[in-house]
Amino acid sequence: MGRSAGGSYDYLKTIKQPTLVVNGSNDVLTPTINSFIMEQNIPNAQLVIYPDSNHGSQHQYPELFVEHVTLFLEG
C-alpha cells in the first residue's frame, strides 16, 4: 500500500526547489511511506514525521510545526 511500480516516482527527481515534506506517523489519507518515498526522490528534501499523529499533524503539533517551517525557510 502506498508504493507504486518502479520508475513512477522519477518525476520527483526533477523538482529543483528545496522541499519540506510533513506527515503524521499514522496518516491513513496519505500513507506515511509516501512521505519517505518523496524525501528519498526529491533532491534537497527534508522530512518531518510527527509521532502519534495523523493527516492533521501540523494541527496536532502547531508550535513544533512552526518551528520546523521556520528552520526550513531560514536554512
Beta carbons of 39 and 47 less than 8 angstroms apart: yes
Rounded to the nearest integer, the mean pLDDT of the chain is 90
More confident residue, 39 or 8: 39
Q: What average pLDDT does the segment 34-62 reach?
A: 94
Rounded Cα–Cα distance for residues 47 and 71 (Å): 13
pTM of the model: 0.82
| Continuous segment of H or E residues that includes residue 48 | strand 45-50
